Structure 1
Amino acid sequence: MTPKKQKASKQTKLKILYRRRTNIFGSAKLIKTFDDEFDPTKLAKVVIRIQRLDALWREFEETQDEIEVLEDNEEDFAEERQDFQAIYYELKASLQSKIPVQTVPPVPPPAPAQPLSSVVPISPSVRLPEIKLKEFSGNLDDWVSFRDLYISLIHSSVQLTAVQKMHYLRAALSGEAARVISSLEISANNYLVAWNLLKERFENTTLLVKRHVSALLKIPSLKKESAQGLADLADEFDRHVQLLNKLEDSENHWNAFLVERLSQCLDSVTLREWETHVSAGDKYPNYRELLEFIHRRSRIVQTLKLSQSANTQFEVKHPKPRSVVAHVASDNVTQCVNCKHAHFLFQCDQFRSLSPQQRSKS
């Protein structure tokens, strides 16, 4: 991708992120309106608003992280974080105060500290319950589920410091994924760097969509009826569909299916050109885009074929040298004027043996 296209792509992403952040603030204001105009008859909706507020907090943190990475300046955005934190804490405290005390479930005592193998140690002043994460080794098929769970439990937590999050992140990785951030020291400043390195390496939406659609197409048919086989088929198929739903809007699934199916029909040379073309973009290709690419490729191949044919037609052909066989006949070959034999004078050995004076007299 050229620097100009990279800059345009960056600006487009930032525009989307800024709009998303504005929408988050707007949603928080709606919850504040609910709080300001609270009607005791709508007590049941308080818990729902609290859950929504927590979800907005997680979404804000993720969006703000992406903005700061693209803008490459965290200090300029401290005010935005403080503003949303103030809204979050004030609203949550106000909403929770509206819930009768007897309806608030008791908070369980914190679990004792565990060794690093099961839970990452936190500073002595903070004791957190054990948080178990499924280990991520770098398998792309596991990225979405790992990412969502990690964001929910660790990344969006307001109780954890950046250093603590870095500890949890390190402990949750293995194999290729662990190697991506292995050179980074555990520090507050390195946490966002590490998290965004992982997202940059594994959050390839185009490739993930392609893999899941391809997997759907490759699920084998059942050879015979069986309860377990039917259940496994439904579970496997729906697993890929659910992951696709997280990667893109469901209305785009048909597009992804058509693109994948048609691309499987291409020859190896054209498929390689198509994959090269797709890798230059940052979004999953459109079915019409693939059709246009194939037609364009067809015209190029046809033009090259005509050009090669024209070059062959007008190529200058040089005749192959042929061996010349001299058939000597006494009735049509000039006789030597010196010795009267059948050869030219300059071929006559007798004549060449004469001195210049003798040659002039002969």
Structure 2
Amino acid sequence: MEQLKALTKGRARLKANITRSLAWAEDEQNSNATRAEVSSRLKHLDTTWKEFNRFGDEIAMLDEVDGYVDSERQQILRGKISKGRCITFGDEWPAFKDIYESTIHNKANLTNTHKFHHLKSLLIDEAANLVRHLAIADSAYNTAWERLNERYNRPRHIVNSLLEQFMKLPTTTRSDTTTLRKVSDGANEIVRGLDAIEETGRDCWIIYLTLEKLDADTRRRWIERSVETDSPTLEEFFKFLDARCEELKQA
């Protein structure tokens, strides 16, 4: 079947891209890669992985195989998603979460013990310490995954981190290819990172830039007022500023 051949060929190409990404991550020569470069490669791996999964699912449907298990996905999984060295979370958490859930967490044929074993093998530094004292057992897996989500699945923190990176992009007063490329690549990755957590509007940008112009006490009060909101709106922000003005007038 021509469609099956095309899917198989396309999937092989995607597998080669994933293999190259994993090889890059395992190469000691890249241990000093910049945060922006690591983030860019991880997001590219996330996009490629999703396509790889989609091709595999379509092939399975065409093959009409019950209980289809993709051995190639399992082989790539054993690459440990860069062996954890590149996974420091922060703004990389959404990409890691998507890859991990599609390869491990949502797999019905894996026990919680197996899932926890894979999860622990991917964690380093603070994230590893967060679940270090939990035994690898069925009963502990959900607790571990919940702890990680509570710690790192913070859309607002991720937004602020990405916007901080944007503000730190280099500036230049002359035509310079190197700087221009850094700005272009950096801005593109930041926008893709915001898209990944569905922050596609203007609100987060305006709130962040406005807060940068305000005093420390007002910024602190805004954080306290909106701490329970993952994605505060401009309307909420301007209401806060109006209330703050009235408060200062009466002081």
- TM-score (norm: length of structure 2): 0.67
Find out whether 1:302 has 2:245 as its counterpart. no
Pairwise mapping of residues 96-175 of structure 1 onto structure 2 (< 5 A)? 96-97=62-63, 130-134=78-82, 135=84, 138-175=88-125
Secondary structure (helix, strand or coil) at the match of 2:81 reads: coil
Q: Deviations 1:25-65 (Å, cap 9, x if unpaired)?
A: xxxxxxxxxxxxxxx9x967xx6xxx9xxxxxxxxxxxxxx
Whole-angstrom CA distance in 1 between matches of 2:71 and 2:117: 25
Whole-angstrom CA distance in 1 between matches of 2:250 and 2:197: 40
CA RMSD of aligned residues (A): 3.3
Task: State the structure with bigger RCO (CA 8 A, min sep 6), 1 or 2.
Answer: 2
In the alignment of these two chains, the number of paired residues is 196
Higher Rg of the two aligned structures: 1
Q: Deviations 1:71-129 (Å, cap 9, x if unpaired)?
A: xxxxxxxxxxxxxxxxxxxx989833469xxxxxx977x87xxxxxxxxxxxxxxxx97
Find out whether 1:243 has 2:187 as its counterpart. no
Pairwise mapping of residues 1-362 of structure 1 onto structure 2 (< 5 A)? 95-97=61-63, 130-134=78-82, 135=84, 138-250=88-200, 252=201, 254-279=202-227, 281-304=228-251
* 8 A Cα contact 1:137 1:175, kept in partner: no
**Kindly tell me: are residues 225 and 153 of structure 1, through their superposed partners in 2, closer, same or farther at Cα, counting changes over 3 Å?**
farther
The residue identity in structure 1 corresponding to 2:176 is S
Runs of 4+ displaced beyond 6 Å: 91-94
* 8 A Cα contact 2:77 2:103, kept in partner: no
Q: Higher helix fraction: Structure 1 or Structure 2?
A: 2
Whole-angstrom CA distance in 1 between matches of 2:77 and 2:233: 46
The residue identity in structure 2 corresponding to 1:220 is P
Secondary structure (helix, strand or coil) at the match of 2:80 reads: coil
Identity of aligned residues (%): 22
The residue identity in structure 1 corresponding to 2:143 is V
**Unpaired stretches in structure 1, ≥5 consecutive residues:** 1-39, 52-90, 100-105, 112-127, 305-362
Secondary structure (helix, strand or coil) at the match of 2:135 reads: coil
The residue identity in structure 1 corresponding to 2:220 is R
